[in-house]
């Protein structure tokens, strides 16, 4: 694994110990990084804070990405405590249940806008907040899904939303490149996470992925974390703008 000793990493999106964000945070910490971990609200804090403390996170703070004052407070705390940031991991997405389970063409403008704001524009806002803290360069990552590129049954409006996230990743990579900041989207195959549990008939998708993937294995949060740790390392400084599939090859199967 790659050495991240002394690197300062912000992880947004830990909900529990099955979260992709937790798998990444764990990998970052195992390689020596110092962590800042956020939780959504008071209801989420009891589930997230013990995990953050287990990983010796130096900063544990609330962040509802719709609350710009909270975001500003978070970056102020990072500035005061660390003075810089090396890596940002954004692993959050949201859609109203009726929009996720309904037809894309029936999605309300309000629901579409909300899903885009939380799942996509929040990543751009966080990159913008992190940029001044990365004067020597850095790494920004988000999490996508193959439903961005192919129609996945029951994925609903999150397909177009994740497609927008992947496009935003490419444009952000082009814009941040001259500053030495790389931007990536991690695209795991189907994983058993709390967020995925909202997708109808998700167990069938898991079974199909395991059967059809060349490795016949589902990816784990540890697999995603290992890849994220590489992208955060100095060795990956010249890699940017990609959609990185971590899915046992499921995405290549027709």
Active site residues: 155, 162
Asked if 253 and 197 touch (Cβ cutoff 8 Å), the reply is: no
Helix, strand, coil % over all residues of the chain, rounded to 5: 50, 15, 35
One DSSP character per residue, 151-190 reads: --TT-TTHHHHHHHHHHHHHHHHHHHGGGTEEEEEEEE-S
Q: Where are the alpha helices (DSSP H) in 32-157?
A: 45-54, 68-81, 97-101, 109-116, 122-130
User: Locate tokens 């049954």: which residue?
Assistant: 153
User: Locate tokens 């129609």: which residue?
Assistant: 151
Structure tokens at 132: 């001044």
């Amino acid at each position: 694994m790659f050495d991240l000793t002394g690197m300062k990493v912000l992880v947004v999106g830990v909900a529990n110990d099955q979260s992709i964000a937790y798998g990444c945070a764990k990998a970052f910490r195992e390689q020596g990084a110092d962590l800042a971990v956020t939780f959504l609200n008071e209801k989420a804090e009891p589930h997230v804070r013990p995990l953050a403390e287990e990983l010796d996170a130096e900063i544990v703070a609330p962040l509802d990405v719709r609350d710009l004052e909270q975001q500003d407070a978070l970056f102020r705390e990072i500035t005061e405590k660390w003075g810089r940031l090396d890596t940002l991991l954004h692993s959050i997405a949201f859609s109203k249940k009726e929009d996720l389970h309904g037809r894309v063409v029936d999605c309300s403008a309000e629901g579409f806008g909300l899903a885009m704001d939380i799942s996509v524009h929040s990543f751009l806002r966080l990159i913008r907040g992190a940029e001044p803290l990365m004067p020597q360069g850095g790494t920004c990552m988000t999490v996508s899904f193959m439903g961005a590129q192919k129609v996945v049954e029951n994925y609903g409006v999150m397909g177009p939303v994740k497609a927008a996230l992947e496009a935003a990743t490419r444009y952000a990579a082009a814009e941040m490149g001259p500053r030495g900041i790389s931007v990536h989207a991690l695209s795991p195959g189907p994983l058993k996470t709390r967020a995925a549990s909202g997708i109808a008939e998700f167990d069938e998708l898991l079974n199909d992925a395991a059967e059809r993937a060349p490795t016949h294995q589902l990816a784990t949060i540890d697999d995603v974390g290992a890849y994220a740790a590489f992208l955060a390392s100095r060795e990956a400084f010249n890699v940017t703008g990609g959609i990185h599939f971590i899915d046992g090859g499921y995405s290549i199967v027709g």
